[in-house]
Structure 1
Amino acid sequence: MMRQTTQGRSSNSSIKDVQNSCDERGIAIQKVGVSDVHLPFLIKTKSGSFQSVLAKIKLTVDLPQEFKGTHMSRFIEILSDWSQKPVSYREIGNMLTDTIVRLHAKRAHIDIHFKYFVEKEAPVSGLKSMLDYDCTFSASLARGEQLDFVLGIIVPFTSLCPCSKEISQYGAHNQRGIMRVKIKQVHGKFIWIEDLAKMLEERGSCQVYPLLKREDEKYVTEKAYENPKFVEDVLRDLVLMLRKLDGIQWFEVECENYESIHNHSAYATHIENVDK
């Protein structure tokens, strides 16, 4: 057994490392790594606990022009190690630092897409249920620089058409919409997904709830009717709210209403650098 082990080590040490060989084409690569990696991940929650999610991940580094390739297996090793630790803003920075060190890179990037669940309480009955939000952690880090972190979230909402309400003798058409929001935060600042989702969904005509009894359905129907909004109204209200949010450098907002009386959607978008 000892002889076999020794021979095995000798054989491994003699395997040629093609990735580290020289490339003479003179082309540096900005991002190289792994994409569409699906792993269970632990996301820190506002309550101090964590939520287990299924994450879809892209992890990359820069590759200098003189190197032929990177070590793809190391990316999976890094992600496997970090999938066992609850992560948020600070841990994402540590993960990228780990990536830079282990891949001998100058810069690393990561995108983590996942569904995050938040408990919601029905407005009248008080019944509790879980609503899912599509979320993204996108970050990049260069040696000696601060973490560049963007939080993305997709929030559903209800909107009711002001024009329909104005011209109709009774009723008004409404639709379910979604807000796609990305925010880049000042270094050291972080907003919890739970808090951001709550602030965003309050800008629609009414919130969306997974579980409603009849008294709740009456409430949300009348709430939307009393608060009619075009897709443009929802977007502008979101912009005003995000401008006031502490620690935001940049944001991007998209609103899309899945129309109930048309076979198309109503759409609006806005991107802004916040100068504070």
Structure 2
Amino acid sequence: MNEIKTKKQLPTKVERHKLFGSVEPGPRTKPEEKNKMPDLQNTKKDFLFELDAVGIQNVKHPITVPSSIKPKEQTTIGNFYFASTISQDSKGTNMSRFTEQLNNYYENGFKVDIHTMKQFAKELQGRLKQKDAELSVEFPWFFEREAPYTGKPGMNHADAWIRVKYHRENGYDIKVGLKGKITTLCPCSKEISEYSAHNQRGNVIIEVTLDSEFDEQHVDWKTVLLEAAESNASARIHPVLKRPDEKMVTEQAYENPRFVEDMVRLVSSDLYEHDFIKQFHVKCVNEESIHLHDAIASITYDKRKEK
């Protein structure tokens, strides 16, 4: 016979909480009104050193990203960093001001572009009452890519970021970046083999310093960096490839062999030709198909140091 179990008679929720350690609230003696509470972070003394950065990071928040190519506007998740320097006579910062301002922008539709990020940084500097403020946001950027022969569309994506620092005396420092994937075919393999050549997936990482007066309404920096990476590769990456497309991409890669050294020099040449780019760092990482290691190369160049 099946044993019939008697239903448990549990204590009330309050009693259960007490069972696991909850206690009654103690006496309340400290003020509850904000204007009566001590503000330790605003204490002014000699605290020995100025701090390079104080703030918060790894703040995930929904954002809207505009684009000059399809989709023209997309909602995604941004990963934010906020900080400022802290003077020697200041104990700290008010952390809540970072997220409070972020929420204010979100309620008004936070469109992540250069203009908005500059406005955010300047406003943040004023709220913090420090000489500077900086923020950055990293996000996945999606773009439509058509197959080269059939025109079949699909979605690709790259990792993108914007970093803006505002100093009340020195103005703005604006950096943007992108990490995209490409195909590279090994020139050495093509040269020494009777037939065929091995290829690999390459990762191109670009970060550039923009002119402080850069106008995003006339130029979409995301497409500029993407084109610099992809147009110099052996072949582009495609989400949809039918057989005629695959034939075209394979032959294109064979016709355009690239070392990592070739990639960073070619990408840098494209970036150099844009007047609104003042400094750039380019790195290519190839995930080798016949080695266990990756191949890397990089270039850093500052046009502002030219005579």
Q: Which range moves more in the overlay, 256-265 or 159-168?
A: 159-168
Offset of residue 118 of structure 1:
0.9
Distance in 2 between residues matched to 1:254 and 1:63, nearest whole Å: 33
Gaps of 5+ in 1: 1-8
Offset at residue 154 of structure 1 (A): 0.4
Report the CA distance between 1:266 and its aligned residue. Answer: 0.8
- In the TM superposition, what is the alpha-carbon distance from 1:239 to its structure 2 partner? 1.6
Does residue 29 of structure 1 match 2:51? yes
Secondary structure of 2:33's partner? helix
Q: Deviations over 1:33-90 (max 9, x none)?
A: 1111010112222269532121111100111111111100110011122233212111
Separation in structure 2 between the aligned mates of residue 49 and residue 260 of structure 1, nearest angstrom: 35
Q: Distance in 2 between matches of 1:121 and 1:143?
A: 45
Partner in structure 1 of residue 299 of structure 2? 270
Q: Is the 8 A contact 2:64 2:75 kept in 1?
A: yes
- Equivalent-residue separation in structure 2 for 1:202 and 1:21 (angstroms): 55
Structure-1 residue corresponding to 2:246: 217
Q: 8 Å contact 2:135–2:163 — kept in the other structure?
A: yes
What RMSD, in angstroms, separates the aligned Cα atoms of the two structures? 1.7
Displacement of 1:132: 0.8
The question of 1:79 aligning with 2:108 is answered: no
Partner of 1:204: 233
Provide the rounded CA distance (Å) in 2 between the counterparts of 1:12 and 1:187: 39
**Contact 1:27–1:65 under 8 Å retained in 2:** yes
Among candidates 22, 38, 46, match of residue 60 of structure 2:
38
Equivalence for 2:119: 94
Q: What letter matches 2:124 in structure 1?
A: T
Q: Which protein shows a greater Rg?
A: 2
2:203 is equivalent to residue 181 of structure 1:
no
Partners of 1:64 and 1:223 in 2: how far apart?
Answer: 57
Deviations 1:128-163 (A, max 9, x none): 111110011011110143321111100111010111
Taking the aligned partners of 1:138 and 1:19, their CA distance within structure 2 comes to 26
Answer yes or no: is the 8 Å Cα contact 1:50–1:86 preserved in 2.
no
CA separation in 1, counterparts of 2:143 and 2:174? 22
Which letter does structure 2 place at the counterpart of 1:225? Y
CA distance in 1, matches of 2:59, 2:257: 42
Distance 1:217 1:129 in 2: 15
CA contact (8 A) 1:118 1:194 kept: no
| Matched residue, 1:5 | none
> Secondary structure at the residue paired with 1:147?
strand
Give the ranges of 4+ consecutive aligned residues of structure 1 lying more than 6 Å apart after TM superposition.
Answer: none
**Aligned partner of 1:238 among 249, 258, 267:** 267
8 A contact 2:228–2:271 mirrored in 1 = no
Aligned to 1:58: 81
2:266 and 2:120 map into 1 onto residues whose CA distance is: 35
- State the TM-score, normalized to the length of structure 1: 0.92
Unaligned residue ranges in structure 2 (runs of 5+): 1-30
Instruction: Name 2:35's counterpart in structure 1.
Output: 13
Query: How far off is 1:18 after superposition?
Result: 1.2
